[in-house]
Structure 1
Amino acid sequence: MPPVGNWLRDRSDEQLVALLRARPDLATPPPADLSVLGARVEQRSSVARACEELNSFALSTVEALVLLDADRQPVTLDAVAEVLGSEVTVQRVRRTVAELRDLALVWGEDDALEIAGTAREVLPTFPGGLGRPSDELTEVTAKAALAEMDEEERRLVGKLADGSPIGRTKDASAHVTLEQATNPVQRLLAKGLLLRRDTETVELPRQLAFAVRGDHPMGEVEPEEPAPELVQTDRERVDSTAGGAALELLRHVEELLHAWEADPPDVLRSGGVGVRDLRRTAKTLEVEEQQMSLLVEVAVAAGLLDRTEDAEPRWLPTISSDTWLASPVEQRWATLAAAWLELPRLPGLTGARDEKDRLIGPLSDELSRPLAPKDRRRILDYLDELPGGCGARPDDVATVLAWRAPRHAGRLRDDLVRWTLSEATTLGIVALDAMTTAGRALLYDGPSEAAHRLAEVLPEPLDHVLVQADLTVVAPGRLEPDLAAELKLVADVESAGSATVYRVSEGSVRRALDAGYAADDLHALFRDRSKTPVPQALTYLVDDVARRHGKLRAGTAAAFLRCDDPVVLAEVLATPASEELELRRIAPTVLISPLPLADLVDGLRAAGFAPVAEGPDGNVLDLRASGRRTRGKTRQRASYGPPVPGTEQLAAMVTQLRANDLAGSTRRGRAVVPERGRPSAEATLALLRRAAAEERNLWLGFVDTHGTRSQHVVRPISVGGGVLRAEDAVSGEVGGFPLHRITSVALVEE
């Protein structure tokens, strides 16, 4: 059998470039010549990697070639089509073989096809679910034996023919004659219609499986991609639904940052977040644990959360999170969506069990999958292939992608499709089982364009709210950033969604007053921003809290407490809290305490008073805790495998392959013998000038400026100035070869 290298030499430069682009591992590092490339083509790891991208029918075709022993002797295209089944046309097989030929998984003409011997190692142990052939059976005798079987024997043979050809049974241990056989297994073994592998294992011979399967020797083969049941969608409805999902995502991530700022969870020894912390935060955000895991993973990938570098590390918002919180809505979404798209992890595995039966938590090492970004893009690319205005359900997408790459992603293949589409829906990249306009822009144009597309479908931010009589405030949509910040300060979120409901309470009003608002500011806020009349109950609540707010003035002595009304101070001293706060009077209107100012204010509020803190200038001091932050780390972009050189690089590589191949096969005549590792300069010049004068081809050994060794067959044009100008015998290009970089030289025998 001629080596694959000989077949590669007959391929065009364009075909070789296409091969190196389709199988980039063959080009890393650049092969020395076509013989080396041929050896790499047949390497087991390279064949396995190429088979990962084959569709179901292409894999069946490779299995058929292995069944026909094409790794040992050439086979015909017609024989391959016959093994694949009567419903598969020769034209369909020819088209697939051409695709396999482009990948160098198959080579040779249609009447003499060959494959690499390592293909047998890469494929399943039983290609097509077929066992080994029996030396004692032919297809004719197998069919005759099948016709003579009783019902029990036929049922057993049919079961082995439909699935794995291997069966486990204790009846295989006894070596009995046909007359002594008491069950179907023993009778079939005695007739030579089953092969005994060991005392507990039997195997169905290939010829008998062919007889059972009839016109489908390899069972059910799918020559064409299955067609999904399309879901009709409306583009505007898809995009508006995605806009709502994006706003909901941002709200949850903001709440996550605030929750972990106030109560940062510990970093587990194995990395990640504890299940208890995750559940607590999920309850606070009112989301499912699986969605909580996605939010945490995306926030960390986007650089909004990270672990501290303390002796006891915790998960905290990063410095970058402040910039993110202050950014426009569409830019915040684009940051999260891009982080998810490039996330080299599988959040969907959260909650599963590892090899030691332990729960897998978010941010743990068990979720790491370097190829996850590539898989995500493959799934979303398929959804984008569907006709305009159409989507597909996750199960149908999984079925189609399973046909396109059955060996891809292993046992998680179908789960990965469902997880990806669910996560993409949560992020607003997919909606109503279809790709969104912003999601498509994210895939092909980048985050900036995706943000622009999302901004086009988001509703205009509102500058008003609806104040209700029950002290609730309804935001019927997305609010302007300033109004949203003010409302968040003066009221608490009661329910969120397309319309957010806030509740104003004594505590929320006091929080606004603590931040420096006056009663008149709050009245003006509700009066100017509400489209409904402000209820009296709200006005009374604000006035009542403001009247009591700030009567007591706390400062630093360590801390002091002052009030213009001595009666109020007397009331404070009469409470049990005064002893805990260690208060003592130093003047009719002043009390002092050794406790910190914040502790004094908190203690008085717990006792039912409403003090405010004041600074040295007498102005109200905001004692709310400032957010804790960590610096965060720079994260590397995910890598999906060997880098793919550009077309020009591949073309240059093929040219060098041709040159080295020609140089390696050239018969050399007179040569310059190297002295101390290098040829003599005088002898080299003499030989170069003689070749130029006689118009003889030369074989050169050359080292370029990068230290890369190469071989060339050239026709000298001139020698001078320390440079040989010559025409390359392969490319026909004229170039210069510095003499000091020539390592060896010889005349080419014609």
Structure 2
Amino acid sequence: MSGTTLADWLRAQDDTVLVALLRARPDLATPVPADTAVLAARIATRASVSRACEDLDTFTLTVLEALLVLDADQRPVPLPELAGLLGKEVKARQLKQTVALLRARALLWGPDDALSTPPASRDAVAAFPGGLGRSVPELADPVLTDLGDDEHRVLKTLADGPPIGQTKDAALVVPLAQARTPIQKLLARGLLIRRDGKTVELPREVGLAVRGDRPLGRLQVTEPALRTTALTASVVDETGGGEALELARHTESLVNAWSEDPPSVLRTGGLGVREMRRIAKDLEVDETRAALLIEVAVAAGLIADSEGVDPEWVPTALADTWLTATPEVRWSTLAQAWLDLPRLPGLIGQRDEKERLLNPLSAELNRPGAPRDRRRILEALAGLEPGTTVADPAELAAVLAWRAPRRGGRLRDDLVRWTLTEGTALAVLSRGAITSAGKVLLTEGPALASKQLTDSLPAPVDHFLVQADLTVIAPGRLEPELADELALVADVESAGGATVYRVGDDSVRRAFDAGKTAADLHELFRKGSRTPIPQSLTYLIDDAARKHGRLRGGAASSFLRCDDPVLLTEVMAHPAADALELRKIAPTVLVSPLPLSDVLDGLRGAGFAPAAEGPDGRVLDLRVSGRRIPGKARAARRPVHVPTPSEEQLAELVRLVKAGDRARSTQRGERVSVPANHGNGPSATVDLLQRAAKEGRSVLVDLVDSHGTAATRVIKPQIVGGGVLEGYDLSYGEVRRFPLHRITSAALVED
């Protein structure tokens, strides 16, 4: 039976079919094929076939393998023969739909009575299609009745696949009478073939006979079941909103901690285990979450390698902008950075093939395909009804493996588990379901996702509860200004749905150092608390206020002044006075050559409570805001997939291909070319084009466009001059202009 060629089949298709083909396989469109023959050759390459198979599900790949078992890459195969090989469990309608899908991707062509596949499919799809070996035609009807049990077991093992095995018995084929082992007996009977001195192969015909009524084994016709639980979408979103606040809080703590004490960059890059454990302890999170926070903060540009002589991981200037942003914007920045992260944080803590520990921020975590795989998992969850949660990550991994078995690699199941864990920490997921904000992030981007998150966050509260033990409870997310003021005078003890603060001597003094007065603090607690203010808090503030600021410092490099000479005398009598190089210049004034911040820190360590003042005598806040380095522009992400052209571009491309076909079928008459050294070529070409314009004849021109792509067109010249050929493009159906210097040859079209 003879079948049509791929090129002829493509020429017979209408523009809609070809546009759909190029949409499904965008790699075929770059560079633009000169004609259908070039397009067909590109379709049949191994790399393109392999790429086209990446998104095929398990059953579709099984059908393609079945076609290869039937040698559809060598001869046309009728659809009934394909259906017979697949077995009765495959319904006719499902098979026809799958065949149509393969045709749409040009992995299959021809009518139902003569189906063909590209020869490259055998190398690109599977080494052993259907788990079967190579065909041995003389074994069309193998006899298996006289075999022993041990021989049957060998055949059954190889028939289940793969059809090759390693054995020392393959070294020599002996007559059946001399055979002692099952392998030797099967080789002698011709039921196994010897590939080399250590390898045997089960012929396809024998494998099919062993399998019996299941020629391709047990088929996975439909995707595995996925157990789900329905939750209220609002519950999922509210839980995710709380997690988004925790994410922002922990990242802020990370930035602040590394502002004051940046960790060193390892010589091999990355962050040391000791440093990661320390920050996990400071943030009061486990090491897995700490590693994820670090990876995402660096990916978002909030932290970067200082790249100095002794490089450190230091917050950037972008961190200051992020710290002043609203919680919604903070979250969307981090979530988008994670979504685009070309790395696998889940590998942290594991060991590579050389037993080296994989650290956070190390180059070994780089995986360019990670964003694509992450999106594929999230899109599967986004395709479920809102609020639908997956019961078991392993079941989701099985579904994704069925939908695209050629994706994910050896870490495919781990990727699902890691994505669910990380997505929950990033508030993209909650309770195993995708949040509304996460779904918008996936489809619309961070700007709209941050707006969507606003509806999920608890409404900010304008009050707190002061307890007798000097703890302050915020019963929800405080208004930003109130939260800043409370964080200045109290330390966070625990966070969650309600945040617990504690007021102490150090925290009150911190507020005074920032310029607050006792009256300011009393007013803050009076207005903000819904419970009575305990006397212990009032006494604490007033007592700290009496001690604070009695000593005033300035720059001389620095100075100290005090209205009480006795206090200055006490300071001078303290051992710290020598270390701080203090010198009395007046009964109420001391000076030091050291920086003011060092002097004040030394006095505080000695038990005094000095305050800094400015030229106007007001209290100054000398707290160090932390180190910063310039923010670095995030590198543009290279697309993992070839970008798909727009519908207009695809339609234009199809028109160009068909124009090339028409030009190739045109008979050429008198011809001139532009030689490599140009010589007289250009003038001869212009002469021929001008003659064709004068005589009203058509010409066949070969040209190269601005992208270096060659094309052939049939043109009826109208104007030739000024370095331009203008004429009616018979291949394209309109008047067009072509630069003469891009024309490589021209030939008159024979009548």
- The TM-score normalised by the length of structure 2 is 0.92
> Aligned letter for 1:422?
T
Measure, in 1, the Cα distance between the counterparts of 2:228 and 2:581: 74
- Per the alignment, residue 123 of structure 1 pairs with 125
In structure 2, distance between residues paired with 1:680 and 1:514 = 86
Deviates more, 1:150-159 or 1:104-113: 150-159
Residue 226 of structure 2 aligns with which residue?
228
Q: Secondary structure at the match of 2:337?
A: helix
Per-residue CA deviations over 1:653-697 (Å, capped at 9, x if unaligned) read 2212111222122222345687811335455333334345xxxx5
Q: How many residues align?
A: 741
CA distance in 2, matches of 1:565, 1:741: 92
- 8 Å Cα contact 1:549-1:612 kept in structure 2: yes
Deviation sequence 1:18-66 (CA, Å, 0-9, x none): 2222212111111222211111111121111111121111211221222
Distance 1:686 1:521, change over 3 A: closer
The aligned counterpart of 2:734 is 733
Q: Distance in 2 between matches of 1:126 and 1:307?
A: 48
Amino acid at match of 1:27: A
Matched residues in 2 for 1:35 and 1:707: separation? 19
Give the letter aligned to residue 154 of structure 1: H
SS of 1:240's partner is: helix
1:677 aligns with 2:678: no
Aligned residue in 2 for 1:99: 101
User: What SS class does the counterpart of residue 507 from structure 1 fall into?
Assistant: helix
Alpha-carbon spacing, 1:654–1:582, altered in 2? closer, same or farther (3 Å): same
Cα distance in 2 for partners of 1:168, 1:673 equals 60
Give the distance between the partners of 2:376 and 2:165, measured in 1 at CA. Answer: 38
Identity %: 57
> 1: distance between equivalents of 2:521 and 2:511?
8
In 2, Cα distance between the equivalents of 1:215 and 1:280?
63
2:321 to 314, 320, 323: 323
- Give the secondary-structure state (helix, strand or coil) at the position aligned to 1:489: helix
Q: Does the aligned pair in 2 maintain the 1:300–1:306 contact within 8 Å?
A: yes
Q: Does the CA-based 8 Å contact 2:686-2:720 persist in structure 1?
A: no
Alignment partners' CA distance in 2, 1:415 and 1:632:
33
**Which stretch has the larger CA shift, 179-188 or 47-56?**
179-188
Task: Indicate the residue corresponding to 1:368 in structure 2.
Answer: 366
Q: Which piece of structure 1 moves more, 109-118 or 720-729?
A: 720-729
Q: After TM superposition, list the pairs within 5 Å mapping 1:196-207 onto structure 2.
A: 196-207=194-205
What's the secondary structure of 1:115's corresponding residue? coil
C-alpha separation in 1, matches of 2:400 and 2:461: 43
Q: Which residue of 1 aligns with 2:622?
A: 623
- Contact 2:685–2:745 at 8 Å: present in 1 too? no
What do the CA deviations read for 1:539-566 (whole angstroms, capped 9, x no partner)?
A: 1211222222222333333333333334
Map of 1:81 onto structure 2 = 83
* Correspondent of 2:13 among 6, 11, 14: 11
Q: What amino acid does structure 2 have at the position aligned with 1:699?
A: L
Query: CA 1:537/1:46 → structure 2, altered by over 3 Å: closer, same or farther?
Result: same
Per the TM alignment, residue 361 of structure 1 is displaced from its structure 2 partner at its CA by: 2.2
Question: 1:7 touches 1:108 (CA, 8 Å); kept in 2?
Answer: yes
Deviation at 1:199, TM superposition (A): 4.0
User: What are the superposed Cα offsets for residues 498-546 of structure 1, whole Å, 9 maximum, x if unpaired?
Assistant: 1111111111111111111111211111121111111111112112222
Q: Which amino acid aligns with 1:557?
A: A
Is the 1:233–1:432 contact (alpha carbons within 8 Å) kept by the matching residues of 2?
Answer: no
SS in 2 for 1:595: coil
Deviations 1:609-650 (A, max 9, x none): 222223343322322113221112111332223332222222
Contact 1:78-1:90 at 8 Å conserved across structures: no
- Give CA-to-partner distance per residue, 1:59-79, whole Å, 9 cap, x none: 112212222222222222222
Classify the secondary structure of the residue corresponding to 1:604: helix
2:711 corresponding residue in structure 1: 710
1:214 CA drift (Å): 1.8
Q: Deviations over 1:333-356 (max 9, x none)?
A: 122222222222222222232343
Name the structure 1 match of 2:382: 384
Q: Give the equivalent residue in structure 2 for 1:596.
A: 595
Q: CA deviation at 1:491?
A: 0.9
Give the deviation of 1:746 after TM superposition. 3.8
Q: Which moved more, 1:317-326 or 1:347-356?
A: 347-356
Residue of structure 2 equivalent to 1:402: 401
Instruction: Spell out, residue by residue over 1:696-748, the C-alpha distance to the aligned partner (whole angstroms, 9 max, x if none).
Output: x54344566777653223567x6688887755444443556688876654443
Which residues in structure 2 correspond to 1:178-189 (within 5 Å)?
Answer: 178-189=176-187
Q: Which residue of 1 aligns with 2:412?
A: 413
Matched, 1:269 2:287: no
Task: Note closer, same or farther for the CA distance 1:634–1:532 as it changes in structure 2 (3 Å cut).
Answer: same
Residue 54 of structure 2 corresponds to residue 52 of structure 1 = yes
8 Å Cα contact 1:297/1:362 also seen in 2 = yes
- Aligned letter for 1:267? V
Structure 1 gaps, min length 5: none
The answer for the alignment partner of 1:529 in structure 2 is 528
Using the alignment, how far apart are the partners of 2:407 and 2:472 within structure 1? 52
Letter in 2 for 1:676: N
- The yes-or-no answer on 1:654 pairing with 2:654 is yes
8 Å Cα contact 1:253-1:299 kept in structure 2 = yes
Amino acid of the structure 2 residue aligned with 1:684: L
| Structure 1 residues 212-247: Cα deviation after superposition (integer angstroms, max 9, x where no partner) | 322222222212222311221111101111101111
- Which amino acid letter does the alignment assign opposite residue 10 of structure 2? L
Contact map agreement 2:58 2:403 (CA 8 A) in 1: yes
State the TM-score, normalizing by the size of structure 1.
0.92
Aligned to 1:502: 501
Q: Could you tell which deviates more after superposition, 182-191 or 456-465?
A: 182-191
Instruction: Supply the distance in 1 between the matched residues of 2:478 and 2:739 (Cα, whole angstroms).
Output: 71
Q: 1:613 to 1:671 in 2, by over 3 A?
A: closer
1:75-101 superposed Cα distances (whole Å, 9 cap, x missing partner): 222222222233123332222122111
Q: 1:735 to 1:554 in 2, by over 3 A?
A: closer
- Give 2:691's aligned residue: 686
| In 2, Cα distance between equivalents of 1:644 and 1:470 | 64
The range that moved more, 367-376 or 429-438, is 367-376
User: Which residue of 309, 312, 333 corresponds with 1:311?
Assistant: 309
Partner of 1:666: 666
Task: Find the aligned partners of 2:701 and 2:334 in 1 and give their Cα distance.
Answer: 56
Give the conservation status (yes or no) of the 8 Å contact 2:298–2:304: yes
Aligned 8 A contact 1:273 1:364 in 2: yes
- Per-residue deviation, 1:175: 4.5
Q: Tell me: CA distance 1:686–1:603, structure 2 relative to 1, closer, same or farther (3 Å).
A: closer
Q: Residue 83 of structure 2 contacts residue 95 of structure 2 at CA under 8 Å; is this kept in 1?
A: yes
CA distance in 2, matches of 1:345, 1:203: 41
2:396–2:416 contact (8 Å) kept in structure 1: yes
Q: Confirm or deny: 8 A CA contact 1:92 1:223 kept in the other structure.
A: no
Residue 668 to residue 588, structure 1, CA distance change in 2 (3 Å):
closer
For residues 428-454 of structure 1, the C-alpha deviation after alignment (integer angstroms, 9 at most, x for no partner) is 111122221111221222222111111
Q: Could you give the per-residue CA deviations for residues 575-594 of structure 1, whole angstroms, max 9, x where no partner exists?
A: 43334334444444444444
Q: Secondary structure at the match of 2:473?
A: strand
Amino acid at match of 2:693: L
Q: Residues 351 and 741 (structure 1 numbering): CA distance in 2 closer, same or farther, change over 3 Å? A: closer
**Between 562-571 and 33-42, the greater mean CA deviation after superposition:** 562-571
- Residues of 2 paired with 1:30 and 1:133: CA distance? 39
Read off the aligned partner of 2:681 and give its amino acid letter: G
Q: State yes or no: 1:343 paired with 2:347.
A: no
SS in 1 for 2:319: helix
The 8 Å contact of residues 691 and 698 in structure 1, kept in 2 or not, is answered as no
Matched residue, 2:547: 548
The answer to which of 560-569 and 293-302 deviates more is 560-569
Taking the TM superposition and a 5 Å limit, the aligned residue runs for 1:19-58 are 19-58=21-60
- Single out whichever of 412-421 and 244-253 deviates more from structure 2: 412-421
Whole-angstrom CA distance in 2 between matches of 1:293 and 1:254 = 15
Tell me which amino acid in the other structure corresponds to 2:713.
H
Aligned to 1:468: 467
For residue 686 of structure 1, what is the amino acid of its counterpart? R
Aligned residues of 1:379 and 1:417 also touching (Cα < 8 A): yes
| RMSD, aligned α-carbons | 2.7
Q: Indicate if the aligned counterparts of 1:316 and 1:629 stay in contact, CA closer than 8 A.
A: yes
Q: For 1:660, give the aligned amino acid.
A: G
Cα distance, 1:327–1:75 mapped onto 2, change above 3 Å: same
Q: What one-letter code is carried by the residue in structure 2 that aligns with 1:350?
A: I
